[in-house]
Amino acid sequence: MADRGSSALRPEHPIERSLPHLVEEFGLEQRGLPVSEVVSGITLSSHDVVPGDLYVGLAGKRHHGARFAEAAREAGAVAILTDDEGAEIAADAGLPIIVTPEPRLALGELAAWIYRTREEPPTMFGVTGTNGKTSVAYLLEAILRQLGVVAGISTTAERRIGDEVIVSKLTTPEATEIHAMLARMREADVRSVVLEVSAQAITQHRVDGIVFDVVGFTNLTHDHLDDYETMDVYYAAKRELFQPDRARRGVVMVDGDWGGRLAQESRIPITTIATDPAADAEWTLTIDEERPERTTFTLRGPDHRTLTTSVPLLGAYMAANAALAIVMLVESGFDLDAIAHALNIAHDAEGTEIHDDGFVAGIDVYIPGRAEKVSGESGPIVYIDYGHSPDAFTSTLESIRRVSDGRVIMLFGADGDRDPSKREEMGAIAARLADAVVVTDFHPRFEDPASIRAALIAGAKRAVPDREIHEVPDPRAAFRTALSLAGEGDVILYAGPGHEDYHEVAGERIPYSARDDARSALHEHGWL
Ligand SMILES: CC(=O)N[C@H]1[C@@H](OP(=O)(O)OP(=O)(O)OC[C@H]2O[C@@H](n3ccc(=O)[nH]c3=O)[C@H](O)[C@@H]2O)O[C@H](CO)[C@@H](O)[C@@H]1O[C@H](C)C(=O)N[C@@H](C)C(=O)N[C@H](CCC(=O)O)C(=O)O
Ligand SMILES: Nc1ncnc2c1ncn2[C@@H]1O[C@H](COP(=O)(O)OP(=O)(O)OP(=O)(O)O)[C@@H](O)[C@H]1O
C-alpha cells in the first residue's frame, strides 16, 4: 500500500538557500545532473513535495523512497538526496542526485540549515515518557497562553499554531517536518514551542538538529516492547533526550524507579518532582481535592515556594502532568508567583482582567480525548480516553474510583500490530478495577480482531474469574452494551480511541469518532 502522505505545516515565505553551498557544507557527494542554484524546502515523502524541495529518498521498511524520485521531480523537487542503493534506483528519474551513506542521520542538520531554524530559536520544550506526553504538552501550551506567550504545539493529537491546526500522523513528526513547522511558527511570531517526543522519534533521529531548553519526563511503563527488546532498551532510548547535545535542562518525575534512574544517569542539570511528600525530590505535589471534572493540587518547591491551582480534568495523574508542566516553565525562567498569578485571574476576550465571583481559578485547558467527559448532567458519567497501556488503564480507573461510588464499566480494545505482550495485563487491570468489562475492536489493522479480543478476555478472566465480561466486536454496538449496563451515577470509561476519528482495519481508515458516537447513544437514551 502506498503511503498517502499528509499535509505538513510549511513556511508561507520559504527562504531560498544555495544548494551547491549545502552540498559543500555537509560534505555530500553529487552525481549525475548538476544541481540547481537554490533549494527552499526538504521532505521525505513524495506526496509532500512542493516546488523547490530537496526530496530525500530513504530506505524504508516497505519501500526504498528513491522509487518515488520521478514523482518527486514532477511535483517540483530540485534534487534527490539518497544512499548508494537509492542513487542506482533513481538514476533515470531526471533529478540531480546527492549521496550520503545514511541520509536519515543527516536529516535534522540539513533541515535546520535549509529552514534556518537555529537562528534566534524560540524557547523549546520537549516532553517524553510512556503516558502523559500529549497532556503535558497541552498543559504547557495552556499555561503559556495564560502567561500571555504565543506558543505552538506538536502532539499525537494535532500540531497547532494559534488557529492553524493539522491532524497528526505520528506522535513526533519527521525532522524535515519539524523544522518546516518551526519555520512556519517563526513567521507566526511563536516564542515558545512544545514538542511531544516519542522514544521512536529519538531512535529514528526525528528530533536531530534541535537543542531543547527544557525537557520533561513523565513516567516509563510497559509499552512498545515490539519496537524495543526490553524495558531497559526502551528506557535507554528515552534517556538520550536528557543529554547535553539534545537539551539544556530536564525535569524528571521520580515517582517510578525509571525516573529516579534517569535523574541519576542524565548528563544535564535535572530538577526532580514527586507525588510522595517523603520522596527525595526538589518539588512535591499533593492532591487537595479530586472531583469528576476538576482536580486541585498544591505544588511545593525549593525555598518553601508553593502554588495551589487546579486542572479541569479527572485524576491525580493529570495534576501530576500539570505540576510537571509548571516546573518545566519555572526551569525555563518563569517565576512561580507569576505563574500562580496568571492561573488565578480571569480575562475577557481582549485579555483584560475581570473580577467575577463565578470564576474558577486554574489552568484553562482542553485536551482532546484524554479522560474527556462527554456525558451531560443526567445519566452515567462517560469518559472517552486515549489510554492504551496497562499503566494508563490503572491511573484512569483508580482516579474514577476516587471520585465515584457508582458502578464502573470499562469498554476497551487493543491495537493490532502493536506490542501484543501488554494485552493480557490490560485485560487483567480492567477486570480488577472495573465492575463490568466490555471488550471491543480497536484498530485491528492487519491482525485477526477475534484473537486480540481473546487475549484481552483471557487476561481479564485469569485476574478475576467471575467478572462480568461482554465481547462485542463492533465499537458502536459495544458502547450501547456498556450504556445498557450503566445507570444514574455510574461511570463508563471508554479507553482507546480518544480524539481519533477513524478505525483502522486491514489498511483502511474507516471514519469513526468514539466521542460523536457516545454522544449520539447518550442522546438516544435521553441523557443528552
Ligand atoms: C515502523 C515505522 O516507524 N515506520 C515509519 C516509516 O515507515 P516505512 O519504513 O514503512 O516507510 P516506507 O513506506 O517503506 O517508505 C519509505 C520512504 O518512502 C517514502 N514514500 C513512500 C511511499 C510513497 O508513495 N512515497 C514516498 O515518498 C516514505 O515517506 C518513506 O520516507 O517511515 C514513515 C515515514 O516517515 C513513517 O510514517 C512510518 O511510521 C509508521 C506510520 C508508524 O506507525 N510508526 C510508529 C511505530 C511510530 O513511530 N510511533 C511513534 C510513537 C507513538 C506513541 O507515542 O505511542 C510516533 O512517534 O508516532
Ligand atoms: N501521568 C500519567 N500517568 C499515567 N497515565 C497517564 C498519565 N497521563 C495520561 N495518562 C493516561 O494515558 C493516556 C494517554 O495520555 P497522553 O495522550 O497524554 O499520553 P501520551 O504519552 O501522549 O500517549 P501517546 O503517545 O500514546 O499519545 C491518557 O488518556 C490516560 O489514560
Q: In 3-state terms, what secondary structure has residue 387?
A: coil
The DSSP code for 35 is P
Give yes or no: residues 386 and 335 share one domain: no
Give yes or no: residues 32 and 128 share one domain: no
pLDDT at 313: 94
From ligand 1's centre to the CA of 443, what distance in Å? Answer: 17
Q: Are the beta carbons of 255 and 273 closer than 8 angstroms?
A: no
Q: Are the beta carbons of 43 and 56 closer than 8 angstroms?
A: yes
End residue of a domain, out of 115, 141, 176: 115
pLDDT at 229: 86
Say if ligand 1 is within 6 A of residue 174 CB. yes
Residue 415: CATH number of its domain: 3.90.190.20
pTM value surpassing 0.90 = yes
Give yes or no: residues 233 and 161 share one domain: yes
**pLDDT digit string, tens, across residues 110-120:** 999 999 999 99
CA distances from 339 to 140, 288, 335, 363 (A): 11, 19, 6, 10
Does 378 carry a binding-site annotation?
no
Mutate to test the pocket of ligand 2, among 128, 133, 135, 140 (most ligand atoms within 8 A of CB): 135
Phi, psi for 285 (deg, rounded to 5): -125, 130
- Ligand 2 atom 13 nearest Cα: 387
Mutate to test the pocket of ligand 2, among 131, 219, 385 (most ligand atoms within 8 A of CB): 131
End residue of a domain, out of 354, 385, 406: 354
Q: How far apart are CA 233 and CA 225, in angstroms?
A: 9
Q: In 3-state terms, what secondary structure has residue 372?
A: strand
Q: How far apart are CA 286 and CA 279, in angstroms?
A: 12
Q: Are the beta carbons of 263 and 244 closer than 8 angstroms?
A: no
Q: How far apart are CA 103 and CA 109, in angstroms?
A: 11
Q: Is residue 11 part of a domain?
A: no
From ligand 1's centre to the CA of 439, what distance in Å? Answer: 29
Q: How far apart are CA 525 and CA 479, in angstroms?
A: 12
Does 44 carry a binding-site annotation?
yes
pLDDT at 3: 37
Does 206 carry a binding-site annotation?
yes
**pLDDT digit string, tens, across residues 304-353:** 899 999 999 999 999 999 999 999 999 999 999 999 999 987 666 666 66
Give yes or no: residues 93 and 127 share one domain: no
Q: Is residue 249 part of a domain?
A: yes
- Ligand 1 atom 3 nearest Cα: 200
Say if ligand 1 is within 6 A of residue 62 CB. yes
Q: How far apart are CA 329 and CA 321, in angstroms?
A: 13
Give yes or no: residues 110 and 129 share one domain: no
pLDDT at 2: 34
Taking the chain (528 residues) in consecutive chunks of 10 residues, what is each chunk's mean pLDDT? 54 94 94 87 96 96 96 97 97 96 96 95 97 96 94 92 81 93 94 96 94 97 86 95 97 94 96 90 96 94 92 95 98 96 74 61 92 94 95 95 96 95 96 98 95 97 98 97 96 95 93 96 93
End residue of a domain, out of 88, 115, 142: 115
Does 286 carry a binding-site annotation?
no
Give yes or no: residues 130 and 237 share one domain: yes
Give yes or no: residues 330 and 381 share one domain: no
What range does the domain containing 135 cover? Answer: 123-354
Say if ligand 1 is within 6 A of residue 172 CB. yes
